[in-house]
Amino acid sequence: MDMQLKRGLLDVCVLAAIKKADSYGYQIIKDIKPYVEISESTLYPILRRLEGAEQLTVRSVEHAGRLRKYYHITSSGLERIAAFQEEWKEILAIYQFVTREESENA
Amino acid sequence: MRKSDFLAALGDALQGLPKRDINQSIEYYSEILDDQMEDGIREEDAVAELGDPKEIAKQILMDTALPKLMRAKGKPARTLRAWEIVLLILGAPVWASLLIAAASVLFSLYITIWAVIVSLYAVNLTFALGAVLGLIQGGIFLFAGNYMAAIFYFGAALACLGITVLLFFGFNKMTGKLVALSNQFVLWIKSLFLKRRNTK
């Protein structure tokens, strides 16, 4: 897959993983892994980037005698997901157009 | 490798970055490893799956903004001795001018890439203006009753318009490639800073 495309997709996947409820690094990886390849070291820069863009916030919660960082989606993070859905409606329409051409030719 | 060894190696490889950044990275990997072990994965396996801490540090450094990276990597690994500082000051006319020259070359290369993009669109704008002016001039001749000249100008205007549209799409494509090139250029400059540290 195109690198730039994959980067954008991973950003949205991470946001989607914390959309319903706040989540932490390891849980996010476990949630996303069935759908798209992601490793611990690819998640880290994504979280930093999304935090920098204020699409998520971080808070530390005590867990089993240590601190665990929970990530919370912001309104601009939710907007990012909405924008992604809009964009893919268009892409899906184009996809249907392309595959229709193919099936007519066959 | 144990968790503590991994985190120590990661911290070492990130040396030079602000303390806050180093701690943030260490906290992240520490939490990930703790969570994996809590999930029943053996410490050694969890650490092994993360990979080489040096590679991870390199990725983090490549993701760091260039100015921050330059500050981090420009810092000497130890405090300088008095005679080294004296030498640095005395040698300043030599090394400072060389450094400025090198930085200027890199900067001008970067500017060149963007200058090409700007000039592409300037050319495109010229054709668009040609089309507009051709139409106006054609109109003037039409009202003056000079039909042959009017047709000539309208034709030229249409040709300009066509070229404008074609070039616009072509230039957009080229611009995409050039932007990618300039991003790669910045990555390359970053890698120069990283190499310097690794050869030491």
For residue B200, pLDDT over 50 is answered with no
Which of B28, B49, B60 is nearest residue A25 as measured by Cβ atoms? B28
Which positions in chain B touch A49 (Cβ < 8 Å)? Answer: 63
For residue B30, pLDDT over 70 is answered with yes
Q: Is the ipTM of this complex over 0.85?
A: no
Which positions in chain B touch A24 (Cβ < 8 Å)? Answer: 31, 35
Which of B25, B31, B60 is nearest residue A68 as measured by Cβ atoms? B31
For residue A12, pLDDT over 90 is answered with yes
Sheet holding A23-24, edge to edge: A23-24, A66-73, A56-63
B129-158 pLDDT, tens digit each? 999 999 999 999 999 989 999 999 999 999
Strand-pair partners of A60? A69
Amino acid B92: pLDDT:
84
Is the entire prediction scored with pTM above 0.90?
no
Domains of chain A: 3-105 (1.10.10.10)
Which positions in chain A touch B54 (Cβ < 8 Å)? Answer: none
Which positions in chain A touch B39 (Cβ < 8 Å)? Answer: 26
Q: A8 CB near a chain B CB, below 8 Å?
A: no
Which of B28, B35, B38 is nearest residue A44 as measured by Cβ atoms? B28
Phi and psi torsions of B170, nearest 5° = -60, -45
Amino acid B33: pLDDT:
92
B59-80 pLDDT, tens digit each? 888 888 777 777 776 666 677 7
Higher pLDDT, B175 or A105: B175
Amino acid A56: pLDDT:
95
Amino acid A2: pLDDT:
72
- Over residues B36-40, the mean pLDDT reads 91
Name the least confident of B28-37, B138-147, B184-193: B184-193
| DSSP for A43-62, written as a single string | HHHHHHHHHHTTSEEEEEEE
Higher pLDDT, B193 or A12: A12
A49-61 pLDDT, tens digit each? 999 999 999 999 9
Q: Is B63 in Cβ contact with A40 (below 8 Å)?
A: no
**Rounded distance, CA B21 to CA B164, Å?**
49
Q: Is B31 in Cβ contact with A67 (below 8 Å)?
A: yes
- Residue bearing tokens 């993360």: B50
- Over residues A35-41, the mean pLDDT reads 89
Closest residue of A to B63, CA-based? A45
pLDDT band at B188 (very low <50, low <70, confident <90, very high): confident
Residue of B20, B22, B24 to mutate, testing the A interface (most A Cβ within 10 Å of its Cβ)? B24
Strand-pair partners of B90? none
Integer CA distances (angstroms), B76 to A24, A45, B123, in order: 36, 26, 48
Q: A105 CB near a chain B CB, below 8 Å?
A: no
B83-140 pLDDT, tens digit each? 888 888 888 888 888 889 988 998 998 899 889 999 999 999 999 999 999 999 999 9
B190-199 pLDDT, tens digit each? 877 776 554 4
For residue B18, pLDDT over 80 is answered with yes
Amino acid A7: pLDDT:
82
Q: Is B36 in Cβ contact with A26 (below 8 Å)?
A: yes
CB A56 within 8 A of CB A15: yes
Amino acid B199: pLDDT:
44
Q: What's the gap in Å between the CA of B200 and the closest CA on chain A? A: 26
